[in-house]
Amino acid sequence: MSGPLPVQEPAPIIGPGHTFETITDKISAVVLTRKTPRGWFVGFGIGFALLMLFLLAVTNLVFRGIGIWGVNIPVGWGFDIINFVWWIGIGHAGTLISAILLLFRQEWRTSINRFAEAMTLFAVACAGMYPLLHLGRPWLGYWLFPYPNTMAMWPQFRSPLMWDVFAVSTYATVSLLFWFVGLIPDLATLRDRSTNRVRRVVYGLLSMGWRGSATHWHRYETAYLLLAGLSTPLVLSVHTIVSFDFSVGVIPGWHATIFPPYFVAGAIYAGFAMVLTLAIPLRKFYGLEDFITDRHLDYMGRVTLATGLIVAYGYMMEAFMAWYSGNTYEAYMMYNRFVGPYAPMYWALIVCNVLAPQALWFSKVRGSVPGLFIVAMFVNVGMWLERYVIIVVSLSRDFLPSSWGMYSGTIWDWSTFIGTIGLFLTLMFLFIRFLPMISIFEMRTLLPEAEVKEELA
Amino acid sequence: MPQIFHPSTNTVARVTILGALVLLAGAGWAITAISRSGYVTGAKVARRQPVPFSHKHHAGQLGIDCRYCHTAVERVATAGIPPTKTCINCHSQIWVDSPTLEPVRSSFKTDRSIEWIKVHDLPDFVYFNHSIHVNKGVGCATCHGRVDQMNLVWQEASLQMEWCLNCHRNPEQYVRPRDQVFNMEYEPPADQVALGQRLVHEYRIADKGQLSDCYTCHR
Amino acid sequence: MSAHPSSYGLLAEFHDPNELIVAIRRAREDGYTRLDAYTPFPIEEVSEALGLHHSRLPLLVLLGGITGACAGLALQYWTSAIDYPINVGGRPFFSVPAFIPIIFECTVLFAAFAAVIGMLGLNGLPMPYHPLFNAPRFALASRDRFFMCIEATDPKFDRDMTRRFLERLVPRSVTEVEP
Amino acid sequence: MDTRDATPPSRGVPDAATIDLTAIRARLANGTGRQYWRSLDELAETDDFKRFLEAEFPREASVFDTVGRRQFLKLMGASLALAGLNGCTKQPTEKVVPYVKQPELVVPGQPLFFATAAPLGGFGTGVLAESHMGRPTKIEGNPDHPASLGATDALLQASVLQLYDPDRAQVVRNIREIRPWNAFLDTAAAVMEKHRPTQGARVRFLTETVTSPTLRNQIESLLKQIPKARWHQYSPVGRDQVRAGAILAFGEPVDAVYHLDKADVIVSLDADVLGAGAGSLRYARDFAGRRRVLDEHGAMNRLYVVESSPSVTGSAADHRLPIRAVDAEAGARQLAAALGLDVGIPSEPSLPAEWVKAVAEDLQQHRGAGLVVAGDFQPPEVHALAHAINEALGNVGQTVAYVEPVAASVDQAQSLRELVADMEAGQVDVLVMLGGNPVYDAPADLRFAAALQKVGLRIRLGLYDDETSEVCHWHIPEAHYLESWGDLRAYDGTVTIVQPLIAPLYGGKTAHELLAAFTDKPERTAYEIVREYWKGRAGAVDFDLWWRKALHDGFVPDSAAPGKAVSVQSLAFAKKAPAAPKAGTLEVVFRPDPTVYDGRFANVGWLQELPKPITTLTWDNVAMLSPATAERLELSNEDVVEVRFDGRTVRAPVWIVPGHARDSVTVHLGYGRTRVGRIGNGAGFNAYALRTTGAPWAGLGAQLRKTGERYWLASTQNHFSLEGRDLVRSTTLDELTHHPHAAHEGGGHGGQDLSFYPAHEYKGYAWGMAIDLGSCIGCNACTIACQAENNIAVVGKDQVWRGREMHWIRVDRYYEGDLDTPLIHAQPLPCMQCENAPCEVVCPVNATNHSTEGLNQMVYNRCVGTKYCSNNCPYKVRRFNFYRYSNWDVEALKLVANPDVTVRSRGVMEKCTYCVQRINAARIQAEKEDREIRDGDVVTACQQVCPTEAIVFGNVNDPESRVAKLRANPRTYALLGAELNTRPRTTYLAGVRNPNPALAQKEGKA
């Protein structure tokens, strides 16, 4: 991934003049002492309102059936799986930042990994809804888990959907563990810093009595490193498996060997875009420019660009294979994307995912906060469109023209989608309010004071 | 800084974690148990009927053959619930004015059917065929139990899919000679499996694969 | 056990890692064995100074992983090939390639649990109550201070000697920790 | 489905630019080799996309509006109940209700079949009705009946649903009051009392076409008592033209019976011999029998069709020429002249000379083995000419025989005209209408409804309390034929005694009983009446034996109409050249609808949702235009036009039909019902409003005016071109004889060894199906037979529009060639039952998997509804219950369900099962008899219904089975078999056509 490239005068990864206590106080203050800003209530309110919309949509869905969505034959999957893949993809950046960059010893990760991980968890939570909701009989969703039952039936482990069940639940669990382990010392800090009895008890219990003992730190570091080591292949496997949902199928536009790498890259791409989308307002809002510095933004810009290029390559290969394979069906699939009824979607996707990020070649753009934010927004939309193109456009016209059909989302598709965004926001705001959004103890290690003198080392 | 917690908290914490695990396991076990219990399956629960008809008396003591009433059992899917006429055949002669038989008589007079309570009730998506089982040497008692010893009939087996499969997977453990099918007293011989394997071959009972195909029972 | 049940140990406070490391080394040279350091963030050198060697955690994780892999394989093999073999799309009952993803996921899942539970277990967490929390300034251990504690259970521990020894290290403070 | 919040479909589609036909022509012209395409939207690529985006809100329509809240709660209960772990759902206690005295025949759980006859247009078709414990559930053809030979058509299949239709009239009604039957008997008696003195001079009876000997006899004897009373007949789809044609040619009415099995060359003058009409099933069977080419030595017949709008027959033709219906006569004259008959040639010919020449030569070369058929709806002259030609070619007695008229022979239009005249003149006090629905379907110019108001006492017997009953004093619910005793004659006169399978559900009465009410024995039952009639005539020693045999066999032995030796009197009428019809001016053509017929089936959901042959439209009728005409008038699909004809207008949506005649607009009758029931009301537009006695079937001088409105239509297929994919393979006899394996080229078999895994072995039975595209004429009977057999739900227009129709077997259609005279291919598509099924691998819960006999099993009760299987099905034959489509609320509709097939619930996938219930029944029977299942023991519903025997099912492991032999045939190919290695068990035989070499190269095809 993009390490600190030789740029003249790299901006520092932590603002000047900070000491252990300033870091500690500044970050924990957000949770403990600072008065909750009005903006927080507004944001949380919006998120919560959307969450209610989600509940409404789901209730309607359960009682009336997925006929309320736009899905049909041939297009059996629509917003449901699009959103699923979109959210899962977004999740990936968190793990990447916290695990992979950790292994690569990228110190700049420190100030963003905490809320990136939180983002992962919440994104996965949103994603996790869809495999259940998209069922015709959601109340039987538990049949996807292997447990001894009176029917003597088992799940069908050859199905990519089963792989999903395992991959996503594992991913969710491991991410949660990783996140929690990372939180323990900071929870201890909060415990020790908070004056209010209730909070001390709560944080006290959550921190499990962490007291920063060197022996503990010793094992802690090992465990944390091991988790990072495990998460790295895991995060790659998850989107690989998600891509199997399609590449295992026979449908032109689905059945492609390039999918795994191209999906993983896409996921990280989407993820970083989302991290930017969240980080930029956050640092502004809580004045954390010292911790999330322009250097961070610059690096994230680079990662976005890099992964964006991989994704673009993916698109190219799809087109190339369609032509090179000489297969009528593949060829038509591509032709259909270019000029078919959904062509607008496809070209919009190209603009968002291929053209827009090219701006990141210019350090000016990477340097400008609004510039980055706009590009990130483009990518968020683009990645959603990518899934739309892959799922809907491919399904709408497969082998037999007799069965071709069209798809478009209904108001309920949209409600569900926007609803999950509500869920995401709600969780995100709660997190910001009650937990340190930046890893305090890791920030401390970045200070020069943390350096042990040569002769002692 | 003052302690937040009392020393006992440490123990409490550990116990809580353990307890949670134990509780979880317990819940799992309970669900498995309940889903197989008579409460859910309705097994072993004698059903009250409009007429307290005693199989024990008729099939057991009087030794009336099953097929006298369940006439269709060898021919079609359903064994057949006897029409009122069947009861009247005898009860126009005996117990002609027993009050318990009033519903029968009135049914016959008014030509309105007696509404029996269904004891063995399979879900609508299961297609069980009596005739083929009877013809392949599955005894009545194998599934219905010793009906000849029941006053009010109850459902002997769970009738859950795993129960059906158990026999569809190992028919040799249950089949008996055709002439013994309706014999309630029949006791499987010591060498049941040997006999079973012979009969399975003799009666050309389909292989386990075919017997456990979904479409064998579901359509 | 201890000759001095009335105390958990003596806690010395330093304000940067270097002082702490020096202190630890001196203490160990002095023959103290039952001592521990408390820092707001992990410091490799401190562990070294305390002479902590490799933990058994990696082994646990490896075992966890292996268990997971076996479990995943066994589950799929038994259900699809033994208990209820069903012809799915003409694939063999035991179609290994199709089973790999789940085996992998199980491996990671079990390994991760081993890592976390192992770490907490070995650290004896959760332990919400600890005598050290009695020390008023100990709260700073999670902020910006670095502590060394010589425990009363140390054979060489003697309230006055040890205190004097510690004070020679010019710490910010030396406090006695009630048990 | 709850539908009350459904937003109405947005009609406001951004006016998609009129289809650019010139561009299309260009594309087709440049196209190389065989080009298939499907429809114009497709070619023009006018995108439905806009429309879909327009429709931003979901639209839901359902067939029966269900109580939203109740369903809500029910589902809630369901979901709660199921929310627990499996098995924790307790079944409700159910009751068993045995007979009191069990009927001898009936064994619960064992279906019985009864032979009877189904009426259509007055004629009967012999059928076997399946009865489960007294409930008729399915109609099958009667193999011994000459008109059926075991086949049935869509309408007959659906008739069983009509029996249970909850919207059928259920009470005897007088004005607004519900009255007992006896009350009516009194009225009837009073009527006779009052009118006997005047000999019933002011009494009229109106029936439809009557073939029933008993009914005819009843009416006649009734007329003996009141001689001055009159009996009028009128059915909207009558045979006046045929009758008039015969009189014109022979001087007397006769019916023509064709023998297509003897015909080598068939010329159809706008005649849908195979698709419609009393004899069509038999004709289709005979026709197909002469086309089944199984080796390179095979011979086959040749079919020429000239017609206005593409029909089933036209799509099966070897040469098809679209001409205006009004030009058929000119064509007939040209042909007659070319064959040396002394007829006047029209100033401007309607058929190309070389075409006529080729056909004439072909006919000449097959004297005695040729056949010219005139369409039922063509004017008498065409019929007369056809008769003359057949006579001249010595075909009479060979391919065509003349028999005594089967139906009571009257000029119905005239008959109705007289009735209306009398009514207007106030000379009618009592009008008794047996069936029919004249207020709705009488010719517009007669103003029947208005005249009817002048009648003192209006009595109506009808299945529905419909438009006509609405204005009648008395409405008597009519008994459905499955509830009735009676008798009917087939196209060839063969008599079948109609017997009931069930007592009238809604207290219906038969026409026999209604007429009896006017006699001195009003209480007599139909059974008595019919039986008594035949007692007199059977001439059998033991009548009971005769009666039982007649009932059992389903027909009365040698009751066919006696032959009649007739010869063409003179061609005087054709001597002088006719005034050439004004070319260029638009003609309007009326045709009975292929699914709702004349409107009587408008409330049968199965038929409303059955895609119409060729257009694949559902739930609506349209104004069909040729591409050229649409181009000229700048119209495109779904444009609403005002059709003006003879001073009357209707508004109709346009549908452009390739292969339609230019300057001709075809509208189907039977829609626009206002008072038939929840299903039929308001569907389509009423074309009768344009129809006059002057132009019953076609008329010149129609005008179309574009209104600028749009109307959305639900067609099951209207998408883009095959892009050169060889999905439908077809060859010509010539090609086949030279290189028989042509159909294989581009891969057919093989592939299986390419598999990554070892293939599973199928040792026992291996079920498979072979579909002969050479025989299939695309009549859609299979689709609806499957629907009836497998409890397939009806989903409503909106859901069809969304692509959610539930048919397990569909009939795809592809066009080949140019816009104006394309060849039309039909391809029935059930589940392919792939051995390497892509759908199975992706199901996470094993709800679909493979049986040891190679069936692709779909287990509804295991399905959780991921829809992944459907996505991954390359044939898209899987159907999903997006809502709770099966109707659980209407009691009557539960009765029609096949008890051997699960009724699917909401949220589960379903698809063709190869009629596994029939396989299992056969297996159990065979096992009990300790034998193997024989070839032919298992007949799938689609196979059984097929008039042309295009579908063959059986055990492919048995080399002797028919299906195994067909799979070995060089014409056989597996759809997508080579591309995907799915190893489908359903395979196709490439279609074969037999073009006339003389015309072939001119048309530049083959």
The domain spans of chain B are 8-36, 55-81+118-217, 82-115
CB contact under 8 A, D875 and A165: no
For C18, the closest of A180, A193, A453 (CB atoms) is: A453
On whether the CB atoms of residues D266 and D259 are closer than 8 A, the answer is no
D867 near A CB under 8 A? yes
Domain boundaries, chain D: 21-59+718-993, 112-164, 173-238+409-553, 240-403, 582-715
CB contact under 8 A, C75 and A450: no
CB contact under 8 A, C129 and B212: no
The C-alpha atoms of residue D805 and residue D797 are separated, in whole angstroms, by 9
pLDDT of residue C5: 57
pLDDT of residue D104: 75
Chain D: residue whose CA lies nearest to A328: D725
For A204, the closest of B4, B10, B158 (CB atoms) is: B4
D195 near A CB under 8 A? no
* Radius of gyration for chain D, computed over Cα atoms and rounded to the nearest angstrom: 28
Closest-CA distance of chain B to residue A435, Å: 20
| Chain A, chain C: beta-carbon pairs less than 8 Å apart | 203
Closest-CA distance of chain C to residue D983, Å: 10
CB contact under 8 A, A450 and C41: yes
Residue D321 has pLDDT above 60, yes or no: yes
Least confident of B11-20, C59-68, D819-828: D819-828
Closest-CA distance of chain D to residue B104, Å: 9
On whether the CB atoms of residues D122 and D238 are closer than 8 A, the answer is no
Closest-CA distance of chain C to residue A228, Å: 10
Residue D1004 has pLDDT above 60, yes or no: no
Residue D88 has pLDDT above 80, yes or no: no
Q: Which of D667, D236, D596, D601 is nearest to D442 (CA)?
A: D236
pLDDT of residue D30: 53
pLDDT of residue D68: 43
Q: D-contacting residues of B 27-66, CB under 8 Å? A: 31, 34-36, 39-42, 47
Closest-CA distance of chain D to residue A393, Å: 12
Q: Name chain A contacts of D984, Cβ cutoff 8 Å.
A: none
The C-alpha atoms of residue D769 and residue D987 are separated, in whole angstroms, by 6
Q: Neighbours of C (≥3 Cβ pairs closer than 8 A)?
A: A, B, D
CB neighbourhood size of D692 (10 A): 18
For D100, the closest of B35, B36, B113 (CB atoms) is: B113
ipTM exceeding cut-off 0.95 for this assembly: no
Q: Name chain C contacts of A146, Cβ cutoff 8 Å.
A: 75, 79
C178 near A CB under 8 A? no
Arithmetic mean of pLDDT, D487-508:
92
HEC per residue, D55-113: CCCCCCCCCCCCCHHHHHHHHHHHHHHHHCCCCCCCCCCCEECCCCCCCCCCCCCCCEE
Residues contacting residue A187 through CB under 8 Å, at least 6 positions apart = A203, A206, A207, A210
The C-alpha atoms of residue D596 and residue B81 are separated, in whole angstroms, by 42
Partner residues linked to D879 by β-bridges: D910
CB contact under 8 A, D852 and C87: yes
For A150, the closest of B4, B5, B36 (CB atoms) is: B36
The pLDDT tens digits for D641-689 are: 999 998 999 999 999 999 999 999 999 999 999 999 989 998 999 999 9
Q: Name chain C contacts of B7, Cβ cutoff 8 Å.
A: 129
The pLDDT tens digits for D745-762 are: 544 444 445 777 888 889
- Please check whether the two domains, D173-238+409-553 and D582-715, share a CATH topology: no
pLDDT of residue D582: 66
**Which amino acid, one-letter code, is at D144?**
D
Task: Encode burial over A410-429: b for 16+ CB neighbours within 10 A, e otherwise.
Answer: bebbebbbebbbbbbbbbbb
DSSP D2-20: --TTPPPP------PPPP-
For the record, the structure tokens of A358 come out as 């090219």
Owner of token pair 């849908």: D272
CATH no., domain D21-59+718-993? 3.30.70.20
Chain C: residue whose CA lies nearest to D845: C88
Q: Which DSSP symbol is given to D614? A: T
Q: Which DSSP symbol is given to A213? A: B
The pLDDT tens digits for A362-400 are: 989 898 899 999 999 999 999 999 999 999 999 999 999
Residue B106 has pLDDT above 50, yes or no: yes
Arithmetic mean of pLDDT, D153-180:
92
pLDDT of residue D98: 85
Q: Name chain C contacts of A216, Cβ cutoff 8 Å.
A: 123, 125
CB contact under 8 A, A151 and B5: no
pTM of the predicted structure, to 2 decimals: 0.90
pLDDT of residue B96: 87
Q: Which of D244, D604, D212 is nearest to D434 (CA)?
A: D212
The C-alpha atoms of residue D993 and residue D1002 are separated, in whole angstroms, by 16
* CATH for the D240-403 domain, from 3.40.710.10, 3.40.228.10, 1.20.140.10, 2.40.30.110: 3.40.228.10
Chain D: residue whose CA lies nearest to A331: D723
pLDDT of residue D742: 66
pLDDT of residue D24: 57
Least confident of A187-196, B49-58, D19-28: D19-28
The pLDDT tens digits for B110-156 are: 989 899 999 998 988 999 999 999 999 999 999 999 999 999 999 99
pLDDT of residue C45: 87
- Top pLDDT among D39 and C29 is at C29
For C102, the closest of A166, A174, A453 (CB atoms) is: A166
Residue D53 has pLDDT above 70, yes or no: no
Class of CATH domain D173-238+409-553:
alpha beta
The pLDDT tens digits for A314-348 are: 999 999 999 998 888 999 999 999 998 999 999 99
* Radius of gyration for chain C, computed over Cα atoms and rounded to the nearest angstrom: 25
Partner residues linked to D104 by β-bridges: none
**Which amino acid, one-letter code, is at D288?**
A
Residue D79 has pLDDT above 60, yes or no: no
Q: Name chain C contacts of D757, Cβ cutoff 8 Å.
A: 90-92, 95
Q: Name chain B contacts of D91, Cβ cutoff 8 Å.
A: 42, 121, 123
Task: Encode burial over A147-183: b for 16+ CB neighbours within 10 A, e otherwise.
Answer: eebbbbbbbbbbbbbbbbbbbbebbbebbbbbbebbb
Residue D97 has pLDDT above 90, yes or no: no
| Chain B, chain C: beta-carbon pairs less than 8 Å apart | 33
Closest-CA distance of chain B to residue C31, Å: 30
D638: left (phi over 0), alpha (psi -120 to 50) or beta: left
With H, G, I as helix, E, B as strand and everything else as coil, classify residue D530: helix
Chain A: residue whose CA lies nearest to C21: A456
Arithmetic mean of pLDDT, B174-189:
93
Least confident of A59-63, B186-190, C53-57: C53-57
The C-alpha atoms of residue D587 and residue D326 are separated, in whole angstroms, by 8
D1001: left (phi over 0), alpha (psi -120 to 50) or beta: alpha
For C128, the closest of B5, B165, B212 (CB atoms) is: B5
The pLDDT tens digits for D405-462 are: 999 889 999 999 999 999 999 999 999 999 999 999 999 999 999 999 999 999 999 9
Summary mean pLDDT of chain D: 86
Q: Name chain B contacts of D929, Cβ cutoff 8 Å.
A: none
Q: A-contacting residues of C 91-110, CB under 8 Å? A: 91, 95, 98-99, 101-102, 104-106, 108-109
What share of chain D has pLDDT > 90, as a percent? 69
CB contact under 8 A, D110 and B31: no
What share of chain A has pLDDT > 70, as a percent? 96
Residue A103 has pLDDT above 90, yes or no: no
A457 near B CB under 8 A? no
Chain A: residue whose CA lies nearest to D722: A401
Arithmetic mean of pLDDT, D539-564:
89
Arithmetic mean of pLDDT, D967-988:
90
CB contact under 8 A, B1 and C133: yes
Class of CATH domain D112-164:
mainly beta
Best of B3, B4, B32, B214 to mutate (most A CBs within 10 Å, chain A): B4
CB contact under 8 A, B3 and C135: no
Residue D14 has pLDDT above 80, yes or no: no
Q: Name chain A contacts of D55, Cβ cutoff 8 Å.
A: 408
CB contact under 8 A, D836 and C87: no
D582-715: CATH topology: Barwin-like endoglucanases (2.40.40)
Chain C: residue whose CA lies nearest to D853: C87
